Amino acid sequence: MTEKETIVVIGAGILGLTTALHLQSNLSPQQTILLCAREFPHSPESLNYASAWAGAHFRPVLSSNPALAREDTQAQRTYTHFTRLAAQEPGSGVQSLPGIEYLESPPAEYLDAENIQKAYGYLDGFQQLQGEDLPKDVKWGAKYTTFAVNPPVYCAWLLRQFVLRGGETREYTVVDLREGFYLAEGKRVRTVVNCSGLGMGDKRAFIIKGQTCLVRNPCSVTITRQNSDGSWSFCIPRPLGGGTIVGGTKQPHNWDPNPSLETRAKLLANAAKWFPFEEGSEKKFDVIRDIVGRRPAREGGIRIDAEKLSDDRGVIVHAYGAGGRGFELSWGIAEDVFNLMRENGLVREKASL
């Protein structure tokens, strides 16, 4: 009889949770998953657990280099998966709804029809807006079917699915990735999947501080608006009564954990110009809280590769550094991790019926 083996996934943010669940769904009974992390969806609040602080919504990004081209394929596959979740799992916190973009000063790549078709063409209902459909001062616009996610609900749902299907968890602060080979309490481990966000020691990894504002004002669409000065503003409703996110900022290498009242005022003032307030309201935001999170980014883009240790202990499969696109790329990244592990002979797939 073949010895059972445990695959250890380090990190329980959006990439760790999604990867653990996807691996679990495709493995034979001879392999099990241990999800090990310092913080889980039920853990005390920490701005380093970036997934809980995300918007989060699905929005394409135009490809301008090989890393973004890979992200584009990951995004398309994630979009397909979110389509199924929104239709079949309403309790997951993923909801299908209209998405609108308005750009006052569009970059040159947005004026190339081929670029737009490649980035947006697969979206249900995609339509580029023209003429009277564009607000004053807007030079480029589009609408399509997108998804909004309630991150605390969705992350808890992913973890629940993983546990209900037999996955094991362990709260543990990993100091070195090599620890992963010893965390399964005597069980055989030859693969550790590194979904730690910042990669644990990767000098190319860095944080991007983001600040948004959670408000009670309801909204039935996501709106992304680029202002004439190049700054961005957006609103994203959180499904299942989670309020609406108004944002946002991106500040690389900023370790200040505190929200800025000045930033809050600017975010709300920008959004007040176009936010779809309810008719009869005073057109003011009812603020619940300021949100600060640290997006785990990486120079050169996401790292997905397999590293064989020199002592033959096993293989570390890396999957981290998604920055602010973790939700948008999550299922595509999880599939890429599984395919990479299959190519390296690290997974035993379920038998086909």
pLDDT reading at 215 higher than 80: yes
Query: Is the Cβ–Cβ distance between 141 and 102 less than 8 Å?
Result: yes
Domain 5-344 has CATH 1.10.287.70: no
Q: How are beta strands 251-252 and 205-215 bridged, if at all?
A: antiparallel
Lowest mean pLDDT among 6-10, 58-62, 94-98: 58-62
CA distance linking residue 273 with residue 132, whole number of Å: 18
pLDDT reading at 195 higher than 70: yes
The pTM assigned to this predicted structure is 0.95
pLDDT reading at 31 higher than 70: yes
Query: How far out from the chain centre does Cα 58 lie?
Result: 9
pLDDT reading at 339 higher than 90: yes
What average pLDDT score do residues 58-81 get? Answer: 91
Break the chain into its structural domains and give their ranges.
5-344
Query: What confidence tier does 311 reach under pLDDT thresholds 50, 70, 90?
Result: confident
Work out the mean pLDDT of the chain and round it to a whole number. 94
Could you count the other beta carbons within 10 Å of the beta carbon of residue 341? 20
Question: Taking phi first (over 0 means left), then psi (-120 to 50 degrees means alpha), and beta for anything else, what does residue 207 get?
Answer: beta
What average pLDDT score do residues 272-301 get? Answer: 93
What average pLDDT score do residues 109-117 get? Answer: 90
Any binding-site annotation on 295?
Answer: yes
Any binding-site annotation on 348?
Answer: no
Any binding-site annotation on 347?
Answer: no
| Cis bond upstream, residue 56 (ω within 30) | yes
Q: State residue 79's pLDDT score.
A: 97
| 3-class SS letters over the chain | CCCCEEEEEECCCHHHHHHHHHHHHHECCCEEEEEEECCCCCCCCCCCCHHHHCCCECCCCCCCCHHHHHHHHHHHHHHHHHHHHHHHCHHHCEEEEEEEEEECCCCHHHHCHHHHHHHHCCCCCCEEECHHHCCCCCCEEEEEEEEEECHHHHHHHHHHHHHHCCCEEEECCCCCHHHHHHCCCCCEEEEEEECCCCCCCCCCEEEEEEEEEEECCCCCCEEEEECCCCCEEEEEECCCCCCEEEECCCEECCCCCCCCHHHHHHHHHHHHCCCCCCCCCCCCCCEEEEEEEEEEEECCCCEEEEEECCCCCCEEEEEECCHHHHHHHHHHHHHHHHHHHHHCCCCCECCCC
pLDDT reading at 155 higher than 90: yes
27 φ, ψ to 5°? -90, 155
Query: Is the Cβ–Cβ distance between 70 and 204 less than 8 Å?
Result: no
Query: What confidence tier does 1 reach under pLDDT thresholds 50, 70, 90?
Result: very low
